[in-house]
């Protein structure tokens, strides 16, 4: 592959490329409650995440809907966390890697507790 072809796509690995994107929001809260704070992630990066979830047959990552709301119960959060860890170990994409780390850090304190993850799509 020529250098010109590779650099044509280099912006896809730059965080600044996604700073003005529509956002998908992720938050942790007790059951039947709305999260008090949210983590915002570029809709394009969440789409990349869910595409990899399909490619690797990761059931819970595939459940994230960028256009609607999705709720993961406590046990589902544990499975989603494991799927995020798996992807973090196999990808080389630094921008998506940061998303994986951010989401894992959001979910980890909730593991084993009666909390749920809410995803608010657009």
Annotated domain spans of the chain: 21-120
The tokens describing 87, both together, are: 């992807």
Cα→Cα distances 121→14, 91, 92, 98, Å: 23, 24, 26, 19
d(CA 64, CA 53): 10
Q: What is the pLDDT of residues 29-56, one digit of tens each?
A: 998 899 999 999 999 999 999 999 999 9
- Percent residues over pLDDT 70 in the chain: 95
Is the pLDDT at 2 greater than 80, yes or no? no
Is the pLDDT at 17 greater than 80, yes or no? yes
Decide the pairing of beta strands 39-42 and 115-120. Answer: unpaired
d(CA 61, CA 39): 16
Can you give the pLDDT at residue 8? Answer: 85
Total residues found in the chain within this entry? 122
Q: What is the pLDDT of residues 94-107, one digit of tens each?
A: 999 999 999 999 99
Can you give the pLDDT at residue 5? Answer: 55
Is the pLDDT at 3 greater than 70, yes or no? no
Three-state DSSP state, 119: strand
Can you give the pLDDT at residue 30? Answer: 93
The tokens describing 49, both together, are: 């995440």
């Amino acid at each position: 592959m020529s250098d010109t072809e590779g650099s044509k796509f280099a912006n896809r690995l730059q965080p600044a490329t996604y700073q003005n994107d529509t956002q998908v929001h992720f938050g942790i809260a007790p059951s039947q409650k709305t999260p008090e704070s949210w983590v915002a992630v570029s809709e394009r990066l969440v789409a990349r995440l869910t595409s990899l979830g399909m490619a690797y047959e990761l059931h819970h990552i595939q459940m994230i809907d960028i256009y609607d709301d999705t709720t993961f119960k406590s046990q589902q959060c544990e499975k989603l966390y494991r799927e995020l860890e798996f992807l973090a170990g196999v990808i080389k994409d630094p921008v998506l890697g940061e998303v994986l780390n951010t989401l894992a850090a959001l979910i980890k304190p909730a593991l084993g507790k009666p909390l749920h993850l809410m995803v608010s799509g657009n």
